Amino acid sequence: MAGPSGTTLALDGDGLETVIAAVRQRGYTVIAPTVRDGAVAYEPITSAAALPRGVGDEQGPARYRLRERDDDALFGFAAAPSSWKRYLYPPATTLWRARRDEHGTLLFDESAAAVPRYAFLGVRACELAAILVHDRVFAGAAHPDPTYAARRRELFIIAVHCGSPSGVCFCTSMGTGPRAREGFDLGITELLDTATPRYIVEAGSPAGLELLESLAASPATVQDLEAAQAVTDVATEHMGRHLETGGLPEMLQRNLEHPQWDDVAARCLSCGNCTMACPTCFCSDDVEAQAPDGETSARVREWASCFSHDFSYIHGGTVRETVRSRYRQWMTHKLGTWWEQFGTSGCVGCGRCIAWCPVGIDITEEAAAIRASDGRGRGSA
């Protein structure tokens, strides 16, 4: 329960405000959940007043709604539609610029954008796991991505352990939540057992500890710690979805020709919403952006989706011509081949792809349907 320090504080709502102030004082831009256009969005905030008070959510296949809670919870909802990935891996990033010198010789300038210092407040366990996945993809690579690596280095993470999982959550299946175990600077559990919420705050890193020790607050009692543990214990019992992960990569691998792929292909619109919403999907296009004056041209990396028809285009045609093959690519990557590539699952169980699929395709159901008739689609790979 306690961080490596053993220091855990119990704060009230005002105490949470002092945490935000202390983080801001250290030069961070705080990004946190707030309500925008009928959904929770992770946006810059300057005060706890911007947090969604008394707001819950209802999520299901192709369904997301906010609801009013009967308490003053500030973190009474599950994963928000848009994940944190856009802050560390922006939807468009200039990689480098090309220009010509007076002799017409091409010159290249590395893009040198200022590095924002973000503090993410309200990172869920599954979302933290997704950041750790991207660490492997972008920072642990042979050629680390400079934008990601620089932003990540500056990042301060305040995790909030989950008390209100939604109908599409399955972090327990993926072993990622509902309690964040590693990778955060501060970890918060919101306790709703009193008239106004209380916050049990633990340190998970030296930077987190330094911040905690700067606060004038009372340490959490043994009862507080037990209550905090109970919050996530209860959440574990309220997962909206379940995914059987035993032998999953091998199971998919031997079912690459399973009829279920045709079944899902008949429903899938190949819109790519799932890939945009997913906190671990990392595919991108490199596109050319010539400056209007024609003097320079930039190479820009933009989010892309393996669902687009030309994603696998090579001279002579598209490799994954059918929706069947594209859905199969996406799902077997998330749940299967990711392991071989990055030593981890590509799915953290946040459920976003289920809620944001316009036709309600559910990755857990598709995997279960294949498993239910395991072997009907033997592939040789």
Partner 1 sequence: MTPVSHRVVGRRVETADVVTLQLEATDGSRLRYAAGQFNMLYAYAVGEVAISISANPLGGGPIAHTVRNVGSVSRALCGLQIGDTLGLRGPFGSDWGLDSAAGGDLVIVAGGIGLAPLRSVITQVIAERDRFGTVEIVIGTRTPEELAFKAEVESWRARSDLSVHVTVDRATPGWRGTVGVVTTVLPRVHCDPAAIALVCGPEVMMRFTALALMERGMPASRIRVSMERNMQCAIAQCGHCQLGSVFVCADGPVFTWERLEPLLAVRQL
In the complex with partner 1, the residue whose CB is nearer, 138 or 170, is 138
The yes or no reply on residue 112 touching partner 1 (CB under 8 A) is no
The yes or no reply on residue 107 touching partner 1 (CB under 8 A) is yes
Output phi, psi for 72, to 5 deg.
-105, 25
In the complex with partner 1, the residue whose CB is nearer, 57 or 135, is 135
Instruction: Rule CB under 8 A: choose which of 283, 360, 365, 369 binds partner 1.
Output: 283
Task: Give min distance, CB of 261 to partner 1, in A.
Answer: 10
In the complex with partner 1, the residue whose CB is nearer, 287 or 359, is 287
Q: Is-contact 126 349, C-beta < 8 A? A: yes
Helix (H) or strand (E) holding 199: strand 198-203
The yes or no reply on residue 152 touching partner 1 (CB under 8 A) is no
Binding mask 241-270 for partner 1 (x = CB under 8 A): ---------------xx-------------
Find the angle CA(80)-CA(82)-CA(86) to the nearest 5 degrees: 135
**Diameter of the chain measured on Cα atoms:** 74
The interface partner of residue 304, options being ligand SF4, partner 1, none and the CB cut-off 5 to 8 Å by kind, is partner 1
Question: Burial of 337 by CB count in 10 Å (0-12 exposed, 13-18 middle, 19+ buried)?
Answer: middle
The interface partner of residue 235, options being partner 1, ligand SF4, none and the CB cut-off 5 to 8 Å by kind, is none
Question: Burial of 90 by CB count in 10 Å (0-12 exposed, 13-18 middle, 19+ buried)?
Answer: middle
CA nearest to 239, candidates 74, 67, 354? 354
Instruction: Rule CB under 8 A: choose which of 124, 301, 334, 371 binds partner 1.
Output: 301
The interface partner of residue 166, options being ligand SF4, partner 1, none and the CB cut-off 5 to 8 Å by kind, is none
Distance CA 273, CA 66 (A): 20
In the complex with partner 1, the residue whose CB is nearer, 38 or 317, is 317
Q: Is-contact 63 22, C-beta < 8 A? A: no
Task: Give min distance, CB of 347 to ligand SF4, in A.
Answer: 3
Instruction: Rule CB under 8 A: choose which of 321, 359, 373, 376 binds partner 1.
Output: 321
The 3-state DSSP class for residue 114 equals coil
Distance CA 27, CA 11 (A): 22
The yes or no reply on residue 137 touching partner 1 (CB under 8 A) is yes
Amino acid at 123: V
The interface partner of residue 55, options being ligand SF4, partner 1, none and the CB cut-off 5 to 8 Å by kind, is none
Question: Which residues in this chain contact ligand SF4 in the complex, by CB under 6 A?
Answer: 268-274, 277-280, 307, 334, 347-353, 357-359, 361, 363
Task: Give min distance, CB of 374 to partner 1, in A.
Answer: 17
The interface partner of residue 277, options being ligand SF4, partner 1, none and the CB cut-off 5 to 8 Å by kind, is ligand SF4
Binding residue count for partner 1, defined by CB under 8 A: 54
Distance CA 366, CA 343 (A): 23
Distance CA 336, CA 327 (A): 13
Question: Burial of 68 by CB count in 10 Å (0-12 exposed, 13-18 middle, 19+ buried)?
Answer: exposed
Give contact residues for partner 1 (rule: CB under 8 A): 95-96, 98, 100, 104-110, 137-138, 141-143, 145, 256-257, 282-288, 290, 294, 297, 299, 301, 304, 306, 311-316, 319-322, 324-325, 329, 333, 336-337, 340-341, 379-381
